[in-house]
Chain A
Amino acid sequence: MPQPISNGQDGHYHVLAQAASAEMTVEHVCKSYGLKPVVKVLDDCSLVLENRKLTVLIGPSGCGKSTLINILAGYERPDSGTVTIDGQPVKGPGRDRLVVFQETALFPWMTTFQNVSYGPRVRKEMSKEGLQAETMKLLKLVGLEAFADKYPSQLSGGMMRKAELVRALINRPKVMLMDEPFRGLDAMTRKLMQEYYARLFETKPGTNLFVTTEIDEAIFLADRLVIMSNRPASIRKVIDINLPRPRQFQMLTSKEYLEYKRDALEILYVEAMKAFARGKQDAADFMDAYSKTAGNP
Chain B
Amino acid sequence: MSAPLKNSKKGVLGKKVKGFLATKSACRGIFSIVVALLIWELGTRYGLPVLSAIPPPSAVLVSFKESFVDPWYWGSWESSFQRIGLGFIFAQIIGIPLGLLMGTSRYFRELSLPVFEVLRPIPPLAWVPASALFWPTPEESIVFVTFLGAFFVTILNIVGGARSIDARYVRAAVSLGSSRKDIFWRIVLPATLPSIIVAMTVGIGVCWNTVVAAEMLAGHSGLGFLTWRAYVTFSYPLIVVGMISIGIAGYISSAIIRLLGSRMTPWLKTS
Residues of A within 8 A of B (CB): 73, 75, 93-95, 97-99, 101, 103, 105, 107-110, 118-119, 122-123, 150-154, 167, 171
Contact = CB atoms under 8 A, between A and B. Distances in A.
Contacts of B271: 153-154
Interface in B139-175: 166, 168-169, 171-175
B68 interface: no
A171 B267 contact: no
A118 B267 contact: no
19 contacts: A93-B175, A94-B175, A101-B168, A105-B168, A105-B171, A107-B190, A108-B267, A109-B193, A118-B176, A122-B173, A122-B176, A122-B179, A122-B186, A150-B270, A151-B266, A153-B268, A153-B270, A154-B270, A171-B176
Name the prevailing secondary structure of the B interface residues.
Answer: helix
B237 to A, nearest CB: 50
B66 interface: no
Interface residues of B, number: 24
A175 B187 CA distance: 24
Contacts, number: 66
The 5 closest A-B pairs by CB, nearest first: A119-B176, A109-B190, A105-B168, A151-B267, A153-B271
A200 to B, nearest CB: 19
B265 interface: yes
A73 B177 contact: no
B113 to A, nearest CB: 25
Nearest to A108: B267
B117 interface: no
A109 B270 CA distance: 11
A277 B200 CA distance: 50
Contacts of B172: 99, 101, 105, 107
Contacts of A154: 270-271
B187 A107 contact: yes
Of B168, B179, B187, B266, the most chain A CB neighbours within 10 A belong to: B168
Contacts of A101: 168, 172
Contacts of A171: 176-177
Between A108, A150, A151, A171, the greatest number of chain B beta carbons within 10 A of the residue's beta carbon is seen for A108
